[in-house]
Chain A
């Protein structure tokens, strides 16, 4: 099948308005939100924009026939290169499947198509008294389908859990084009938990075409505290203090001086410009409890050396404090033309030491690093700021990253808290996983996608899948033939 033939077949499935194939059109599908970091761009052969599950399945079957890879894409806000078609092939963009099909008050669930924007689901559920808990910083733009693929987190996941805790069932198009449902409305269920396998599978096991998600009731009362500290060490101690006291804030976020420098002039959120670090602590629940806990948190912050503690209970005030935090990453364009964002997680106890190490790396490599992160669960987001046009800057960033990731893994951390591995961190997987660990994952991949056509070049280290999958396939073949001693 040549390119013209492929386009013709796609147009037969999707209509002429549902296919892009001119070089200029494909240019804008060569990136996602990771493009300024360490992910290469790559152009697909065609982009399909389906509006129904049947169309998705038909495109997948066509890709099989043509021997082409398939990459699912939502809003393209991901940070690990998950939506970039590294081996070309067909991108299935799910932005036109954007209907909220049902909101069920009694069961507290929503049935949505994958292209629904995260925040719009929460806004739609708000009059019913609910919200969709996973709240990545990109929630104004990112889609529920993308959240499922990356198992996205967000500030409020400290208390409410990440995406996997909020998905009850999925309609999925498998790599051979069959359509299946995993999970369902009833809790529990029998057999393998395929919903859990799909969430966080980075588009490598299936394409979600409908998601049944859990809605969370709005808390009676919400308070946000802003605590300013002289340095990150003092702020880290406050974090430890709060957690040690048995308090579970809805969110517990830290921002350093460099972040404040980027954010405050843009949003006037009211962060003190002279602070070395600020904490945003959100508490929610019954009004009386929240008030009491707020006092306690305030005292703990002051004991840890807070220079200022402010309390915001009005919605407008709270929103403003949050706006600065949520927009922090994207506001970095004000400080440098490029940034590389990490997503490592370390045990909470190792937070102060890890932050000190980040400072050292910044000095050693002469690289500004901003810190804005989910302190409550030890999910760091060191942001390395650079200018791609300056010679050697990319290399320096990659070396510094290597140092930092090594350190985090050494202290018992993980590569990614919520952004996924994608292409970006695939080569670091061997730092965390043994050959057997990876083989177990490859086994799962192989059973869903033996041809390796769904989102290739992701998650597994470079060159891994080819060899590994071939070996697994040979093994399967051998078993079929009754030859066990290979």
Chain B
């Protein structure tokens, strides 16, 4: 009789140390399978191990001593997952999948030997570079110089990028904003502010997309807010949590909590869906930290995505027509992790002249998923192509999103498929409809009647 080769379960590695997948969370899964069709990797592969239910079963199997923590399939599947959380949003039993897969990754990072160069790269890129805003700004300044000096064009023409395998990475990068946004250096205000907003800068948003953050600040200033960026804030740590680097993530979280604590209960507004989701989960991330647990929960309660915040306010109707057709790509960490789906559409519908045409599968992951598109190129490209197909079925000339990772992935995917569709952040569209920098003084204050430009 033919039987499968049983694994040697005598000496298997089990969960140990900090950040183990929570057993009670794990057991809320009743294995009904409702999550399957919403999972991008299951959709592409049709295989059970690439589904949320399959991955939860693998996690449970490690907990039960039926699968080795270091079995290659465990690593493969925990990292093939995009952590897009689409499964979570449809789960009838309310399984908190995100924290489970993040804990599983943390277990892998703690117990699985990685080659030296991988450890070093992670340490430098994730720990050192993203660990401090100044270092990142310096690095992005170099990038800016590269793009503007003509070196980029030269390298692209010469084919050197292709040779170095950097072509894809380079294609993702939008023109870097002229100046990074430095906390404490700029602020915006309505003439008579009715609320104070504390803008969370973020690492990529505050540098590469600094002008998008400025656009968001202007839009909020036109809607009765004073906007500033508390000093001392850092990267949100989402990339670290997703990579199982919990210690690094917690260090960043504590720094952010310290930085925003002096501003009372003012809303902390975020322009990146990925950061917003991570900030809203600080309470969970630091739940076992005696000093920070309560403060983290209070911090998380203040966090709002910029679309969520604007939709909560009595929006001043924008008046400058934007006569274009757009389609909306939902960032996973907005629609699934934060369940924000109505607000962005509501805001877009307030823009005069703008026509929103929905694409198919607007809430299916585009394949960005933080740095996923760099480490799982093939799967990410398949998802990117699928997304572009759906965009191109619509008459839209622009695809609107609300997260830097999505923006970069969409940009690269559209280019690869020869599409001229542009990628925009939702606040850029709104800012345009409010007249951009018109009636905004150079010091950031909106003049009286600034909402009535155009």
A interface residues (Cβ-Cβ under 8 A, vs B):
1-3, 6, 20-29, 31-33, 35-36, 43-46, 49, 66-68, 75-77, 88, 93, 95-96, 98, 115, 117, 120, 138, 140-142, 266, 327-334, 337-339
The answer to whether A330 and B32 touch across the interface, beta carbons within 8 angstroms, is yes
Complex alpha-carbon distance, A20 and B4, angstroms:
10
Contact of B93 among A43, A140, A332 (CB under 8 A): A332
**9 cross-chain CB contacts under 8 A:** A24-B73, A25-B73, A27-B73, A68-B2, A138-B32, A141-B35, A330-B32, A330-B93, A337-B28
Interface string of B24-40 (1 = CB under 8 A from A): 00011111111111000
A115-B46, A141-B37, A337-B28 as given contacts; A3 in contact with B71, CB under 8 Å: no
Q: Which residues from A are CB-within-8-Å of B58?
A: 24, 27-28
Complex alpha-carbon distance, A330 and B36, angstroms:
13
Complex alpha-carbon distance, A44 and B4, angstroms:
7
The answer to whether B4 and A45 touch across the interface, beta carbons within 8 angstroms, is yes
Contact of B32 among A26, A45, A66, A77 (CB under 8 A): A77
Contact of B4 among A3, A36, A75 (CB under 8 A): A3
Contact of B34 among A23, A32, A141, A337 (CB under 8 A): A141
Is B6 close to A, CB under 8 A? yes
The answer to whether A329 and B2 touch across the interface, beta carbons within 8 angstroms, is no
Q: Nearest 4 pairs between A and B by C-beta?
A: A333-B93, A330-B92, A24-B73, A95-B46
Nearest residue, chain A, Cβ from B24: A337
Complex alpha-carbon distance, A21 and B3, angstroms:
10
Q: Which residues from A are CB-within-8-Å of B67?
A: 24, 27
Q: Which residues from A are CB-within-8-Å of B49?
A: 20, 24-25, 28
Min CB distance B341 to A, Å, is 13
Q: Which residues from B are CB-within-8-Å of A22?
A: 72-73
Beyond contacts A35-B31, A330-B30, A333-B94: 10 other A-B pairs, Cβ-Cβ < 8 A, are A23-B4, A27-B67, A49-B47, A88-B3, A138-B33, A330-B34, A330-B91, A333-B28, A334-B93, A339-B30
The answer to whether A331 and B6 touch across the interface, beta carbons within 8 angstroms, is no
B interface residues (Cβ-Cβ under 8 A, vs A):
1-7, 27-37, 46-49, 53-54, 57-58, 61, 66-67, 71-74, 90-95
A27-B67, A95-B47, A138-B33 as given contacts; A327 in contact with B92, CB under 8 Å: yes
Nearest residue, chain A, Cβ from B73: A24
Q: Which residues from A are CB-within-8-Å of B93?
A: 330-334
The answer to whether A76 and B4 touch across the interface, beta carbons within 8 angstroms, is no
The answer to whether B29 and A20 touch across the interface, beta carbons within 8 angstroms, is no
Q: Which residues from A are CB-within-8-Å of B27?
A: 337
A45-B2, A66-B2, A98-B46 as given contacts; A33 in contact with B95, CB under 8 Å: no
Complex alpha-carbon distance, A331 and B94, angstroms:
7
Min CB distance A216 to B, Å, is 22
Complex alpha-carbon distance, A327 and B90, angstroms:
9
A75-B36, A95-B46, A98-B46 as given contacts; A31 in contact with B2, CB under 8 Å: no
Nearest residue, chain B, Cβ from A387: B27
The answer to whether A93 and B46 touch across the interface, beta carbons within 8 angstroms, is yes
The answer to whether B4 and A26 touch across the interface, beta carbons within 8 angstroms, is yes
Q: Which residues from B are CB-within-8-Å of A142?
A: 33
Complex alpha-carbon distance, A98 and B45, angstroms:
11
The answer to whether A3 and B2 touch across the interface, beta carbons within 8 angstroms, is yes
Q: Which residues from A are CB-within-8-Å of B5?
A: 3, 23
The answer to whether B32 and A96 touch across the interface, beta carbons within 8 angstroms, is no
Q: Which residues from A are CB-within-8-Å of B33?
A: 32-33, 75-77, 138, 141-142
The answer to whether A3 and B34 touch across the interface, beta carbons within 8 angstroms, is no
The answer to whether B2 and A266 touch across the interface, beta carbons within 8 angstroms, is no
The answer to whether A46 and B4 touch across the interface, beta carbons within 8 angstroms, is yes
Min CB distance B15 to A, Å, is 16
Q: Which residues from B are CB-within-8-Å of A44?
A: 4
